[in-house]
Amino acid sequence: MVPVAWALALPAGLTAALAAAEAAVDAGADAAGLAEAGRDALVGAADAGVEAGAAPPQAVNIAIEPRMTRGRKLNRSNMAVGIILRYESAGAARQYLRWVDGEEARKPAYPVGAVDNALRLLLLFRERKRLRVSDAARTLGVASSTAHRLLDTLRYHGFVQQDAESRAYEAGPALTELGLAAVRELDLRTWAHPHMEALSEAVGETVHLLVLRGRDVLFVDAVEGADPLRVTSRIGSIVPAHLTAGGRLLLAELPSEELARRFKGVSRLTGSKTLSTLTDLKRMLDCLRRQGYSVNMGDTLKEPHTAAVAALVRESSGRAVASLSIAAPLARLEGQDLTEVVERLQAAAEAVSRELP
C-alpha cells in the first residue's frame, strides 16, 4: 500500500486529479508515477481556483492506495482512490468516498424508502452536531411524525441519542463505534502491510490479512506472490470463516457462548470436505487453540487446489484482531514440512502485533 495525502485543493481539482491518475495508470505508471500525476493535477487545479477567488475547503485528503505486487503495473481494476472532502461551510459540507474499481457505484434499482431516509438522517451528522425533529422532517420532505419515528428507531439501536434538555438528537454510541472500527481497520492495514510484503518476499507466496465479521471473514489486505502460478488477491472478499485457515483460527478465539450465538440456527455447515456439523467445527477449534496456527490443505470445496496456513495478530491486550495467512497452490505445500513456513508466518504475525496499541 502506498498512501499519498495532499492537504489543500479545491473541489474542481478532484475530477482533474482523478483523471490524471487514471491517465497515468493507462500509460503504465507504477505507484510513484500515479501519485505524482494526481498530486500535480490537484495542486494545479487548487492554485487556479484560488486565483479565481474560490474559497478552498477546510481540508481535502486524497489517499491513493494501489493494490499492487512487486514489479506489477497498475490498472483500473486494482487501483483504489479514496476521496474525502470537508468544506468550511457547514451547509455545504459533503463527504465523498469513491473507490475506482472497475465501475461506479449505482443507485439501487428498488430503493427502500424508510431505509434511505434513515441513512440520510445519519449522514446529516457529518455537518451538524445536533438535529431536531423539525430539521429532519424538512430535510427529508416528510411529516414531523414520520421523522420522529425514524429518529426514535435510530435511538433504539444506539445510532442517535436525545439530549434531555433540548430534546435534540445527537450522534449515538453505535455510530461512533462504527467510525472507530473503520479507522482501526485502516490502521491495521497500515501497520501490517510492510510485514506482509516482507513475508511474501521470504516465502514467495501470497499473504492475506483477514478480520472476523460475524460468521464470515473479510479479506482486508493482500500481497501477491511473484510466481506466475500463485493465489491471487482476495481483497474485499467475504467468505464463511469455517472455510478458511485464518477464519477458523479467529473462531477458535471466541468464547463458547459467543460462538454459539453466532452460529445460532445453523444446523449444518457447507462448503468444506471435513466440516459438516457444529460438533466437527468445535472439535477442530479445540485443536487449533492448542496448536496456535491453522492449516487448510484444499479442504474448501470451491478451491480444492489451494492451501493456506494462518497465524493470529493480537493487540496489546492479547485479544485477537486479525489473522495473517500464507496462501499457495496446494501442489507446492502438500506433503512438505511446514515448520519453516509456520515459523516465518508466526514471526510476521508477532511483528504486526507489536505494532498495535
Domain spans in the chain, listed from the N-terminal domain onward: 11-92, 113-171, 187-355
Phi, psi of 238 (to 5 degrees): -120, 125
Sign of CA dihedral 51, 54, 55, 60: negative
Q: How far is CA 347 from CA 69, 148, 203, 340, 353, in A?
A: 21, 54, 13, 11, 10
pLDDT in the model for residue 261: 93
Spatial distance between the Cα atoms of 47 and 10, rounded to a whole number of angstroms:
8
How would you write the pLDDT of the chain (357 residues) with one tens digit per residue? 223 333 333 344 455 555 665 566 566 665 555 555 555 555 555 455 444 444 443 333 333 334 333 343 444 333 333 332 322 322 222 333 333 333 334 566 677 888 888 888 888 887 778 899 998 898 888 899 999 999 999 999 888 888 888 889 988 878 766 765 665 566 788 889 999 999 999 999 999 999 998 899 989 889 999 999 999 998 878 899 999 999 999 999 999 999 999 999 898 999 999 999 999 999 999 999 999 999 999 999 999 999 999 999 998 889 999 999 999 999 998 878 899 999 999 999 999 999 887
What are the backbone angles phi and psi of residue 237, rounded to the nearest 5°? -75, 145
Question: Could you give the CA distance from residue 186 to residue 232 in angstroms, rounded to a whole number?
Answer: 21
DSSP letter, residue 52 = T
Buried b (16+ CB within 10 A) or exposed e, 320-347: bbbbbbbbbbbeebeeeebeebbebbbe
Residue 314 φ then ψ, to 5°: -120, 145
CATH number for the segment(s) 113-171: 1.10.10.10
CATH topology of domain 187-355: Beta-Lactamase (3.30.450)
How far apart are alpha carbons 281 and 59 in whole angstroms?
49
The pLDDT score that the predictor gives to residue 241 is 96
